[in-house]
Amino acid sequence: MLVSRRHFLATAAAGIALPQRLWSASRIESGAMQVETLSDGHLVLPVDFVFGGMPETELAPILARHGIAGGALEPPCNVTLLRDGSRTILFDVGAGADFMPTAGRLSEALDALDLSPEEVTHVLFTHGHPDHLWGLLDEFDEPLFANARHMMGRAEFDYWMDPDTASTIGEARQSFAAGARRRLGAIADRISLFEDGEAVLPGVTARLTPGHTPGHMAFLIDAADPMMILGDAVTNPHVNFERPDWPSPSDQDAELAAETRVGLLDQLSADGLILVGFHLPEGGIGRVERAAKGYRYLPG
């Protein structure tokens, strides 16, 4: 299903243009399991936020091959939905209404699938950045996915709930810390915390992938075609693959994130795993193969 007739008519009557990729952007079925990515919209980021500090002479031809000429980047935001007949699992919850006007469309995407927030049984967080966490609460500051069990890695939860994080994260990210603490505080009495390597749900294993944030988690999905939900361990389809060893200022610990990325892409390519990336194009579902000095992303 793309856009439900009910949603389309309501939107058209209001004279509002439908956002790009409002519906399920990409889907894969593995046995009884169905995995889809839903568009939460996109971000608008300065080029230097992603590529700042990288060697310009080597960076330029990579950007040219991908048609990046400067200005702003507009990475998509792909929220992963897993359904297997008994569970409806969201990996992250999008940006909500308070981060960027181009993001926060997950509720509309769910409506387009005729899926209500009350039907979601589990919410698993990769990390606490705004585009992954700030959609947690509704306009009344109540949990939007009221019937879901919420789960996050213990190290990530502790980091954002630590009052000292706001003073150590850096001025540019201070609002991230305040926003995460407020939202996680609203569910602190009901959230389940887990560790690296733990089977957080049957068929879903947590994999610590630190660097983008201190406790960032990816999730390995045990299916007929095994896959990994990457979150922001890989954040773009060009430099992160071609030169995964280059640190990026978009990561909180850029050196550690690069080390994590190199090992992760080696595993994904060697094991032939399907990957699902939050900011990768064409729905974010694909594979990776070795190429030249690094790797190549193969969407679809």
Which domains, from first to last, does the chain contain? 5-299 (3.60.15.10)
* Residue 292 CB coordination number (10 Å): 8
DSSP-derived 3-state class of residue 208: strand
Categorize the per-residue pLDDT at 45 as very low, low, confident or very high, splitting at 50, 70 and 90: very high
* Residue-level pLDDT at 14: 34
**Residue 158 or 16, more confident:** 158
What DSSP string runs through 77-133? EEEEEEE-SS-EEEE----TTSS-TTB--HHHHHHHTT--GGG--EEE-S---HHHH
- Give residue-wise pLDDT tens across range 60-73: 999 999 999 878 99
* Residue-level pLDDT at 300: 84
The encoded tokens of residue 5 equal 């007739």
Categorize the per-residue pLDDT at 11 as very low, low, confident or very high, splitting at 50, 70 and 90: very low
Percentage, residues of the chain above pLDDT 90: 84
The encoded tokens of residue 228 equal 């990994």
* Residue-level pLDDT at 71: 81
Categorize the per-residue pLDDT at 296 as very low, low, confident or very high, splitting at 50, 70 and 90: very high
Q: What is the pTM of this model?
A: 0.91
**Residue 221 main-chain phi, psi, to 5 deg:** -105, 120
* Residue-level pLDDT at 28: 78
| CA neighbor of 133 nearest in space, from 158, 150, 154, 109 | 150
* Residue-level pLDDT at 24: 56
Buried b (16+ CB within 10 A) or exposed e, 146-182: eebbbbbbbbbbebbeeeebbeebeeebeebbebbbe
